[in-house]
Structure 1
Amino acid sequence: MDLVGTHGTTVSRYESIGSDGFKCRNSGLRGAGAYFWVKSAYAEELAVGWYLKCIKAGTFSKNPDKRCVVITASFDVLPEQYLDIESDEVKSIFLNLIKQHNAEDSRECSEKFYDLFIELMEKELDVIIKLYKVRAYAPTKALPNCYPTQLAGSPLCYVARDSQCILINGAKTLENVGVKNEKQREGKGSS
């Protein structure tokens, strides 16, 4: 399977990922895990948009080097460990479950419901799902042109539930995005 995605973060966090690996968060709008934008013409812009969203939210406030890094990764999973929630068959099961539970259509309910759905699918299929694909909101408030949501709908992302399946293929530091590094700030202050 050719599964490739991008992830936007800081240089500091990228260095930590290099030594300790990715941390799969316990929460997220589409369930627990590490998020990657599915490889597309807009994958880098989406990763940068996510980085900018996190900068604005203060998520990276304790990172010494806040420069933007876009990580490209692939995923080492067996076909049965991967779930495409956006496929017609799986989406139908998901929608039926929402209706059965009369689930509230809210951000607060979303992350818990995705975790519940994955847990139920694991039991049904008798397999550990390490990676799934789902649509997520594009970070258009942070970077307005990062994805054409009106033309294409919400972009696809991978949610890695097992950090061991994430294989870093490369990383690109974007010097002119978001927060400037310390040397740039110092240089402007001394002029």
Structure 2
Amino acid sequence: MVELLNAPNIDQYAWGAINGCEAASLLEGLHCLGKLTNVNYGEFLKQMPIDEGGNPNYGFGGSPYKNQAGKFEAIFVKPLADWAANYTTYEDLSDSGVEPIYQSVEAGNPVVTYVTVHFEKPEIETYPFGDVAINNHAVLVDGVNATQVHLSDPIDGKYYLDKSKFEKIYLSRNMALALLK
């Protein structure tokens, strides 16, 4: 069993952010690496790149504090990585499957992964920028063993999840960002 990286957990709802799990997961990972430890989630959200057009491929689409018609309240890997680059080095593990995630965590690097809320089946809708899971969610993988991953989830807290369940939902999205030491 790999020792847990012991990332802290940020409860996004406690900050009034019904959206913004990607920022919470990123900050959990940065704190895990000993970076930005003097910055809280509310302050971090103020730094998040926003795309006024609501396209998560260019920045956060909308507001972390409310849902807005025509906006997709999320930020995808490329703009998240560009933002993370201000604080740490990273490796985009998107479209690489699950093994690079496990290898990264085993090397001491937490990984922001895109999944769905409560690991439920993706609910797909079409937006001008493409088909996306409207139950989009991001969590931080900070531990792995033979049968489970350990997550720091901005909605559900810290817990272990069977690899089979994690992999099924993760592979439906296949988007991840490793934060390097």
TM-score normalised per structure 2: 0.27
Looking at both structures, which has the greater relative contact order when contacts are Cα pairs under 8 Å and sequence separation is at least 6? 1
Looking at secondary structure, tell me which structure has more helix per residue. Answer: 1
Looking at secondary structure, tell me which structure has more strand per residue. Answer: 2
Which one has the largest radius of gyration?
1
TM-score normalised per structure 1: 0.26
